[in-house]
Amino acid sequence: MSAISITQAAVLGVVEGVTEFLPVSSTGHLKITEGLMNIPVDDKAVVAFTAVIQVGAIAAVLLYFFKDIVRIVSAWVRGITNREERYHHDYKFAWWVIYATIPIVIVGLAAKPLIDGPLASLWVVGASLIVGSGFMWAADQMGRHKRGEDDVTLKDSMIVGCSQILALLFPGFSRSGATMSTALIRDLDRLAATRLSFFLGIPALTGAGLYELKDAVGAGVDTTPLIVGTAVSFVVAYASIAWLLKFIAKHSFNAFVIYRIIIGLVLFGLLGTNVLTA
């Protein structure tokens, strides 16, 4: 039987939708929320459930950036048969996203026992939230914010794509936080960094969700909670994406940095007083 009720699935869907693309760590927030609701975070069915509901958030990205995705995919398809089209930036960018996804796939498969085991500890989440905050703050200070989306290169895509591994291995670090910050270090402006993070997240998160789907079904997760959690995450994530793009165009990452540090310290307090178990 599933360890997650429909109500709990809806709550987790909200948490996933709000935090998936904000640089605050959706995995960390999901684990904290599961702990507060007495859901066993190390249960295979729970691990699979949280991965699957990410598909709802990814669907929100696909819808929000539908025109951009159609443009990029169309350029890629044309470039397959037309040599002249291969000089188009969108054609190159499509390949770069594919190349940049390979490292996280390899590490994800190789390190899965660690990711689902020792690294899933809430102590790791708390430490990653705080350490990741320092990384984000430093990146925001170092970046010169002088390059736009059209200036993205293969090197940028590979380096930013590889930074996703930090969030994969250390829940709480934040995939979006790692990718946006790394993009800022590469001197992309905040909007370009955020959009690149979105595009790189599409194949990585979709693949993870689909890969875990079989485990969710095999582990006994009921279909109804899965549908509810995924649907809620889709609606909330769409609103979150729209808000983030407007916010980041005019503000630094400082608000997220402060929030992450507070959450990390609160989590340590809850663990230290045995309100939560790691």
- The one-digit pLDDT tens for each residue of the chain (278 residues) are 456 889 999 999 999 999 989 999 888 888 889 888 988 776 777 877 887 888 899 899 999 999 999 999 999 999 998 988 899 999 999 999 999 999 999 998 898 888 878 888 889 999 999 999 999 999 999 988 899 999 999 999 999 999 999 999 998 899 999 999 999 999 999 999 999 999 998 898 888 777 776 666 666 667 888 899 999 999 999 999 999 999 988 888 899 999 999 999 999 998 999 887 77
Distance of CA 93 to the CA centre of its chain: 20
pLDDT value of residue 220: 63
Inside any domain, residue 213: yes
Q: Report phi then psi at 236, rounded to 5.
A: -70, -40
- Write the CB contacts of 89 (distance below 8 Å, at least 6 apart in sequence): 150
Instruction: Give the structural domain span for 223.
Output: 6-272
Inside any domain, residue 105: yes
pLDDT value of residue 1: 41
Our count of domains for the chain comes to 1
* Long-range residue pairs from 173-176, CB within 8 A, at least 24 positions apart, any chain: 173/25, 173/128, 173/129, 173/131, 173/132, 173/135, 174/23, 174/24, 174/25, 174/26, 174/28, 174/129, 174/132, 174/260, 175/25, 175/26, 175/201, 175/204, 175/205, 176/20, 176/21, 176/22, 176/23, 176/201
Inside any domain, residue 278: no
Cα separation, 19 vs 240, in Å, equals 8
**Which residues is 188 bridged to in the sheet?**
147
Residue position matching structure tokens 């699979």: 48
Cα separation, 14 vs 30, in Å, equals 10
CA-derived radius of gyration, the chain: 18
Inside any domain, residue 277: no
Inside any domain, residue 1: no
Inside any domain, residue 111: yes
